Amino acid sequence: MTPVVQMQEISPFVVQITMQDRVNKNTFSDELIKGLIDAFATISASNQYKAVVLTGYDSYFASGGTQEGLLAIYEGRARFTDGNIYSLALDCPIPVISAMQGHGIGGGFVMGLFSDFIVLSRESVYTTNFMKYGFTPGMGATCILPKKLGFSLAEELLLNAGNYRGADLEKRGVPFPVLPRDEVLQHALELARQLAEKPRVSLVTLKDHLVRQLREELQTFVERELIMHEKTFHQEEVKQRIMSLFGT
């Protein structure tokens, strides 16, 4: 069987991670979570790579929590921190490029925003839809969205939980390339090759300096998000919304 996370060395210095859980449309299934953690652990343990490209398949980048996973949090059996995939790109020692050729939904979009470079697709939908289900955001969303999108747009996305095409976000002035879907991956790979021209020790040293404050701040935001979840996630209305609205 094809693994749901495929790791491919594009060149001696560039590695591509492809999320392709077609059965679950790249929601955070156990297999996808394990595959991502294993792939980033392999990259972090190597001293040869200089850049990572993270992408999805067809029209899906990453789709956030599974219905079962959300219900487990509602019932108090799990927390989003149990399998920390949201900060894998941030914690990776080398630059990570999110080639979001497809939809980025909820925690899937948030995970992509923790990369050092982001490329969006004009056709795809991007949303932080936590409040659609009635619970407050998690996955470090309240930390990374204001930093990457600006406070006003981030507040709108987080509170309103609406769907935004890449073309819509381009009009709103997001500071990322927004390209036709079939150009996203190639653009990201070209950027990775440009990064690979630099000395690895310099890339690692500079990334560590640039994201140090974000890494330090993130844990505080995550702790606050968990406190908010204790207040908002265990409402009966949230369960009903997860049951009726998931996948719509």
Per-residue pLDDT reduced to its tens digit, 69-93: 999 999 999 999 998 899 999 999 9
Half-sphere exposure of 192 (CA within 13 A, CB side): 30
pLDDT at 2 over 70: no
Helices 141-149, 200-232: crossing angle, 10 deg rounding: 130
Mean pLDDT, the chain, whole residue set: 96
The SS3 of residue 134 is coil
Query: How many helices and strands in the chain, by DSSP H and E?
Result: 10, 10
Per-residue pLDDT reduced to its tens digit, 154-173: 999 999 999 999 999 999 99
Report the alpha-carbon distance of residue 70 to residue 65 in Å, rounded.
6
Does the annotation mark 229 as catalytic?
yes
Please say whether the beta carbons of 116 and 207 come within 8 A.
yes
- Percent residues over pLDDT 70 in the chain: 99
Among the listed residues 82, 137, 147, 65, the one whose alpha carbon sits nearest the alpha carbon of residue 114: 147
Among the listed residues 2, 55, 60, the one whose alpha carbon sits nearest the alpha carbon of residue 27: 60
Domains and CATH numbers, the chain: 5-181 (3.90.226.10)
Torsion angle defined by CA atoms of residues 19, 121, 83 and 148, in that order, rounded to the nearest 10 degrees: 150
Among the listed residues 152, 147, 155, the one whose alpha carbon sits nearest the alpha carbon of residue 113: 147
Q: Which of 103, 209, 229, 234 is catalytic?
A: 229
Per-residue pLDDT reduced to its tens digit, 82-121: 988 999 999 999 999 999 999 999 999 999 999 999 999 9
